[in-house]
A and B are shown apart, each in its own frame.
Chain A
Amino acid sequence: MSGYNKIINQSGTGAEKKTKGHWWMTVAPLYGFTILFVALPILYLIILSFLTRAQTWGVVNQFTLENYARIVKPVYLNTFKESFQLAILTTITTLLVGYPFGYFMARLPRKQKSFMMLLVVIPFWTSALMRMYGWIIIFRSNGILDKILMGLKITEKPLKLLYSYPAVLVGMIYSLLPFMILSVYSSTDKMDWSLVEAARDLGATRLKAFLTVTVKMTLPGILSGIVLVFIPSMGLFFIADILGGGKVMLVGNLIQNQLQSGRDWPFAAALSVVLMIFTSIMIWLYRKLSGVKDLEGLL
């Protein structure tokens, strides 16, 4: 806490305090909450990852590096690799599908924008589990889709569409699409369209104007969308369990298994720390690419 005060004092006596004033008050809640309810619990998580599992139940306070050593076993590295592949695939597809949607949404007449925003989010207010069961009823063998296709004589035998890697991918995309749509939308919405027009006036083709001006200006939205899609797709275990028929093992599933049937909390913690470091690299790239330096002087 004293460090925190020191920081405030420093900023108060800093050289360029022209625009500072009382700005510390706006970040104080974030600082306080983050330090108390995020940093401290995560510190505990890191400590836990160096402890030893008890023989039957619980944790023994005995330092070990064994948990991290176990992660490099091929079987667990493979799980990380597969999760990463799926997350990348999910992110790219979500971007390709979601960007146009968010972009078109921002070009809607004003009155329809907020309505559209709600239309996009409302499906996600119903339980994800129920939505997954909805998909299963449609796509399973002899399900609604099969009956339609076989009724139209397009297929003869029931398809086996579910419980596979592609089914998990589609489920991921479906579940994470709104993050991309809304990210793209919120950065496209306040875009200065006159710049696109200027580029067009200067002779740029529509495509070129889009690539050079629009994409560049919506880059922060694209990046936050990528982060918001990529990160959860590493850990969404229930989609793998339900649409993947329990056959796809992602890092999220692995951690869940270690915590439940494995009863190995320290190993689960170590897996989480590694996952955290891994996704942090993504966040770092995001921060690198979408710096907020040029915001000074807005107010």
Chain B
Amino acid sequence: MDNTTRREFLKYGGALGVALGAAGLSSIARAQEALKIGVVYVSPVAEIGWTKQHSLGVDAIKAEFGDKVELTVIDNIFMPQDAERIFRELAASGNRLVFGTSFSHGTPMQKVAPRFPEVAFEHCSGIVHLANLGTFEAKYYEGTFVAGAAGGHMSKSGKLGFIGGFPIPDIVGPANALLLGAQSVNPDATCNAIFLNSWFDPGKEKEAANTLISQGCDVICSMTDTATGVQVAGEKGAWSIGYASDMAKFGSGKQLTAFVLDWTSNYLRAARGVAEGTWKPEARWEGLAAGVVKMAPYNEAIPADVQTKLKQLEADIGGGKLHPYAGELKDQGGNVKVAAGSVLSDNDIRGMNWFVNGMIGKLG
């Protein structure tokens, strides 16, 4: 696998085209039928976090296909204008399957895909589908609901704290589910929410975690791409909930659990589909049942009977017995949004722009 940074990419990219320069030459020597796959990461692969979880999917492809696959990985592409060029070059240089891993890759992929109808495009966290553009996404809210239940059991103050990047449905929804999970154990639980209004600012994230703890929150869930929230909570003796990767080693023993994202099945399914010629664009949106969302090992401090209950909860949500957004759900003003006996529709979940009763914070 060629793990190329954007800077190296630009260096190679000039006249030859990157795939030719960085990967293509070696392919001539190899078997002609090697399946060429291009992957674009939004950030470099760190020890934990969003991109790390995607790299595990890529590793799975490598493990299964071995020599029969030729991977080109370009990392640190966030801006749509950069991404469009990269996607076009990947598609033009013989890759038959191209992955985009960030919401910001959506518009460029939608532009590039129609021009390369023979190339399969897969977009993580995307919403738009085309004849050759499929999407996959995780049901984060299933993970936060279980994590919230763990928090509800362990919290002394009954106050949870949530840190998110921007107040968008993909983050507001999981925040709501976190509190609903906690309320399933402790009906009086509340959750203070802070939005950094930045995708990336570890300093601000630290202050946000400190702020929540100073206001009495004793379970911190940070849905950002660093372990800062887990780290600060650990230092201050508060419980924490990790996101994307298991962040236990950053948490001074205080991480209750983490809702881990495992994209492996999505990567393998797409690669197999393209290799066998059966690939079709799909809109996959999976959670605990498919193992796309997994709970990291529960903290030993959680009593055994509670752990059993949490595992049962995972099974119930995975099996469809329990829906995190089952009624009756009220918003912050006490208005009933979901009547008892019904559940929030998938469309409403993906467009959730309101806080449930008990959330403390204001959405624009």
A is bound by B: no
